[in-house]
Chain A
Amino acid sequence: MRFTFRALPAASGGALTPRPVVDITLDGLEAAPIECLLDTGALRTRMSAEIAPLAGIELSGDLTEEFSIAGLKTVGTMARVNLMVTDGTDEFIWDAPVWFCDPWPHPFGLAGLEGFLQHFLVTIHAYHGYLEIEPESELQDS
């Protein structure tokens, strides 16, 4: 499954460097998959807490962690969610912990190790501006 890097307009004019992103659908919010930046340095998969109620996810606050991101102190609350990615032809569905954070400084979610990268074989073709993901074979067999 292939995802082309996405370019955004720069507020100062021109365009920002295209970035590796994957659109991840949360169970309950099928109409609006969330753009997530592939972040190989992130331990968690994180999104804005604003997104959770839109998917019908109640953040109980049982499992939270405080951390800093982009210079901002924030609190993440974990919820297990069914996630899905599709390229319009195939789709992959998996269950994973997602940390919904408030406040959240980024305009997209972060697809990190837990929740995303551990579930896929990811190949980044940065020069050509795209990435490919395949479900890990061990996960498919289990």
Chain B
Amino acid sequence: MPTMTVSGHQYSLNSGNIEAALQGALPEPIHEHFVVINGRRWPPKQVVALVTGLDRADFTSHHARRVLTRLGFPAGRTVTGRGHHTVASGATAPPLSAAYGADERPAPSVETLRPYIGLWVAVCGDEVLVGAPSPKEVVAWLSQHGQRAQSMFRVVDSEQAITGAAPQ
């Protein structure tokens, strides 16, 4: 197991214990830097603080990102503080290009939503702000972090969940 030094302390870290440490936690809002773990974007400092128990003031974002990329997690940086994916392709529909007018707002792509299958998500533009097992947890997270979503819904975990919708 690789040993890494963070803020003068030595830690034995691997991708498995990083992923385990994030179980049950929700990613905080991404301001600039992020790492992708299990398909979700996480602020590097949040991850390293959760894993090591260190105070976030004890290390920098760059250091945290370096630690995590060395463990094999891809990292990225948002341009304006929000993610910038391309607009959802709507792969199974007729061409959607004609639908995009001046008032068009982007939406998360199918691939962006895929890690959240079965979870409630709050989305804003093309970004998933948070995914959690219940709408209550999603709303609590939005409130805690002063965020506002464009839409909240559950990403279906079975195709049957969205068929036969008309009430009798």
Residues of A within 8 A of B (CB): 1-2, 4-12, 14-19, 21, 23, 29-35, 37, 39, 41-44, 46, 48, 50-51, 53-54, 67-71, 87-89, 105-108, 110, 112, 125, 127-130
Contact = CB atoms under 8 A, between A and B. Distances in A.
Interface stretch (B59-67, B69-77, B94-102): B94-102
A15 B110 contact: yes
Contact of A39 (B95, B104, B107, B166): B166
Contacts of B90: 4-5, 7, 15, 18, 129
B142 A32 contact: yes
B122 interface: yes
Contacts of A127: 94
Contact of B149 (A4, A31, A130): A31
Contacts of B163: 70
Q: Contact residue range for chain B? A: 35 or more
A139 B94 CA distance: 34
A129 B166 contact: no
Given A7-B90, A35-B151, A29 B96 contact: no
A31 B142 contact: yes
Contacts of B155: 8-9, 107
A107 B135 contact: no
A10 B142 CA distance: 26
Candidate in B93, B117, B143, B157 with the most chain A CB atoms within 10 angstroms: B93
B166 A87 contact: no
B168 A32 contact: no
Contacts of B101: 2
Contact of B107 (A4, A34, A46): A4
20 contacts: A4-B96, A5-B96, A7-B93, A11-B118, A12-B159, A14-B91, A31-B142, A34-B151, A34-B153, A35-B152, A41-B165, A41-B166, A42-B165, A48-B135, A87-B103, A89-B103, A107-B153, A107-B154, A127-B94, A129-B90
Contacts of A41: 165-167
Nearest to A101: B167
Given A16-B162, A18-B90, A30 B148 contact: yes
A9 B136 contact: no
Contact of B151 (A9, A23, A54): A23
Given A6-B107, A32-B122, A106 B142 contact: no
Given A2-B104, A5-B90, A15-B91, A107 B96 contact: no
